[in-house]
Amino acid sequence: MSARLLLLGGTTEALCLARRLGAETVYSLAGLGRVPDDLACRVRVGGFGGAEGLAAFIVSEGIELLLDLTHPYAAQISHNAARAAEIAGVPCWALRRPGWQPGADDDWREVDGWDELTRALAPFQRPFFTSGREPLAHLHEIPEHQNWTVRCLQAEPAPTRAEIIGARGPFSLDEERALFARIRCDVLVSKNSGSASTEPKLQVARELGLPVLLLRRPELPVVAREFAELGALYEALSL
């Protein structure tokens, strides 16, 4: 495809796509985690100023197609993308990665938001959070009977009864088994991202008979075209 593209990224799939695109593409990242420096396309880091700012960028850069390959839980960005495309008069295509599905031996429990999650965690002593940075804002609220392990993109100093691990997937099954054994967690907290690169933690939880608390997926906007997997998007772009 010869159209000028704006790719909203931050996921494994977005980086895979960015590696196949040339200088006419703008690859946009929020700024968390490592910024790739080996791409042929232009990399832009930082926000746009909401839907209106994004629309202005699309117009000023002559963007002809907006691609939303952000995380399934980046709902605000996805809504801004859909609205910006409408304002700017360009199509928006999105990769809507399917969520994980529980097996017969899984104990998965969906929760809505932090308050419901906190109540669900009350019976446990050693939760392992793999749900992003949100738990970091609540480290001062750790109940006396709990010790938290939080894995997110960037490590930082942790208070008493907490450990913050900075790491980016993919994580192998053996790596996850070793980590679960070391931290001795009794419940896993996760977003249902559907990513193969972070799925091994669910297999380890299954092997150990641990319950999994999953933050419910947000509603995402309808866009011009949606794709469930990256290969179909490649084909539509004729890559």
pLDDT one digit per residue (tens) for the chain, 239 residues? 668 999 999 898 999 999 999 999 999 998 766 778 889 999 999 999 999 999 999 999 999 999 999 999 999 999 999 999 999 999 999 999 999 999 998 999 999 999 999 999 999 999 999 999 999 999 999 999 999 999 998 888 999 999 999 998 889 999 999 999 999 999 999 999 998 888 999 999 999 999 999 999 999 999 999 999 999 999 999 86
- In the structure encoding, which two tokens stand for residue 54, read together? 């994004």
- In the structure encoding, which two tokens stand for residue 166, read together? 């900075």
Query: Model's pTM, two decimal places?
Result: 0.87
- Identify each DSSP E strand in the chain by its residue range: 5-8, 26-29, 42-45, 65-68, 92-95, 108-111, 127-130, 148-152, 162-166, 187-191, 212-215, 225-227
Picking from 191, 230, 198, 168, the residue whose alpha carbon sits closest to that of residue 73 is 191
H or E, element range at 202: helix 200-208
d(CA 211, CA 194): 18
CB-facing half-sphere around the CA of 55: CA atoms within 13 A: 14
Predicted local confidence at residue 239, as pLDDT? 66
| Sheet order of strands, 212-215 included | 108-111, 212-215, 187-191, 127-130, 148-152, 162-166
Cβ within 8 Å of residue 105, ≥6 positions away: 206
Predicted local confidence at residue 169, as pLDDT? 83
- Identify each DSSP E strand in 157-204 by its residue range: 162-166, 187-191
Q: Are 218 and 158 in contact (CB under 8 A)?
A: no
Predicted local confidence at residue 1, as pLDDT? 60
State whether residue 168 is helix, strand or coil: coil
